Structure 1
Amino acid sequence: MYLITKNIYALLIATATFTANYASADQTTIDEIELASQQNNVAQLTQIANTAKGYDAALVNYRLAIAHNIMGESDKAISLLDSAQMILTDEKLSEDKTEVNALLAQVYGYRISIKPITGMYYGIKSSNALESASETDETNPRVHLIKGIIAYNTPNIFGGSKQQALKSLNTSINHYQSDDNLGYQWGQAEALVWRGLTHLALNDVQSALNDWQASLDIAPNYTWPQMLISNNQG
């Protein structure tokens, strides 16, 4: 009897540990991450990172990587991307595979923006992850958002295209209208910022301003579109 009880106890402990490490994405945490990121609140992002698990932890590490890179701390940013990548490539991670591969593609892509010399290596990895995400759910708005970001940032000589970016971002924004993947919902306001940047690159300033204002309608305290409007009005 003691042995059976002991084995059951050990199983419960193991289950609790697994749950702590590989908890499913939580929409409340996702919303907190996005709000802190939109306000460039590194302290809040760091606090969330201390307790986040699974997909949430990968997303907050990715957002922190962006923040630290903007502050000129590229080594810290790479370390955070390492953490996000490790989580997303863990075979034990029990999360929506489309969402995991989409975020993983962007993590790889952001590594390239920090260290362009790694472009060939991580470019292939990013492309493969994004292709896997598309195959499992071609209507996922974050898949098309990341396609748009990659097309925008990739030089034309390597297959990038502002027109292709615009097409992908249009598709992303349309799919956000019916996004029901609770626990993974993020990026709608960001998609509008990127489409605005694409319009600007195509010399359509008014459409850019319209998109940035639409982004603020969704996320009123989002500092990025605020700055872009201020810099491009009049």
Structure 2
Amino acid sequence: MPKQTISTLILMACLTLAYAQTDSLLSKRVPILDTARSATTLQQLANEFERIALADEGSWLAHYYTAYAYVELAYQTKGDQIDTYCDQAEIYLKNAEKLQPAHTEIYALYAYLYGARVNVNPMLRGAKMGTQSEQYINLAIKANPDNPRPYLIRGMGKYYTPKIFGGGKEKAIPFLEEALEKFSTFKPQPPYAPNWGKPLTERLLQDSRKE
């Protein structure tokens, strides 16, 4: 067998092993991330996903989950620290986007990220970053109308926007209901692909209906 062929087979075997290892690592950590609430756990997971992404630079999901963990950390904190986490998230989200362009989940996470940035100063940032978030929501829906996350993020935007500025819990209800309906049929592929947001949708919808 030619040396070049042997080298190619060895390379393919190494890549297959690396992919299998990444799949295994993601499969074990994603369920933990989906239920993580404390900043300590989220930071630990962000670090672990970051190591996976650095070890397997071709895994868009490893970069995606690193970004998602940092965005969740941004929602857990206040003030300028929000931007610190969002800046870190955006580095990995851009990496994911290079590997998987025009993907509904990446667009949705960008929308979620800009929603977090609004929280630094809602009065000053609401209009601009709220618009940026909405643009990514539209892109996410266009890429996959069955993805429940962009509808959830749109509902969140309405939920937290004061009525005087066109928001309010009542206006959030239709979007949250649509998100919940889509969650009932959405099947992530592979199983550790993004599937976050259903419990949050249920909590916001329950609270909105009390109004």
TM class, shorter-length: 0.7 to 0.9
Q: Does 1:194 align with 2:199?
A: no
Q: Which runs of 5+ in 1 are unaligned?
A: 203-234
User: What CA deviation, in whole Å up to 9, does each residue of 1:62-81 have, x standing for no partner?
Assistant: 111222x1xx4x33222111
- Identify if the C-alpha distance between structure 1 residues 170 and 137 changes in structure 2 by more than 3 Å, giving closer, same or farther: same
Q: Deviations over 1:95-117 (max 9, x none)?
A: 78111111210110111122221
Q: In structure 1, what is the equivalent of residue 87 of structure 2?
A: 82
Give the C-alpha shift of residue 126 in structure 1: 0.6
Separation in 2 of the partners of 1:95 and 1:61?
21
Residues 39-188 of structure 1: matches in 2 within 5 Å? Answer: 40=38, 42-52=39-49, 53-67=62-76, 69=77, 72=78, 74-90=79-95, 91-94=97-100, 97-116=103-122, 117-181=124-188, 182=191, 183-188=193-198
SS at match of 1:78: helix
- Number of aligned residues: 191
Aligned 8 A contact 1:27 1:184 in 2: no
In structure 2, the residue corresponding to 1:139 is in which secondary structure?
Answer: coil
Please list the CA deviations of residues 148-174 of structure 1 after superposition, one character each: whole Å capped at 9, or x if unmatched: 101111233433243331011111111
CA distance in 2, matches of 1:146, 1:132: 13
Cα pair 2:80 2:120 within 8 Å, conserved: no
Q: Give the corresponding residue for 1:32.
A: 32
RMSD: 3.4
Cα distance in 1 between the residues matched to 2:80 and 2:140? 28
Q: After the TM superposition, which of the residue ranges 43-52 and 184-193 deviates more from structure 2?
A: 43-52
User: TM-score of the superposition, structure 1-length normalised?
Assistant: 0.68
Cα distance change, pair 58–171 in 1 and its aligned pair in 2 (3 A) = same
Cα drift, residue 27 of structure 1: 5.0
CA distance 1:190–1:28, shift in 2 (3 Å): farther
Distance in 1 of aligned mates of 2:170 and 2:72: 27
Paired amino acid for 2:138: E
Give % identity: 27
Structure 2 unmatched ranges of 5 or more? 50-61
**Which one-letter code corresponds to 2:48 in the other structure?**
T
Structure 2 counterpart SS, 1:114: coil
Spell out, residue by residue over 1:4-34, the C-alpha distance to the aligned partner (whole angstroms, 9 max, x if none).
79x97xx88xx89xx8xx99x9454332112
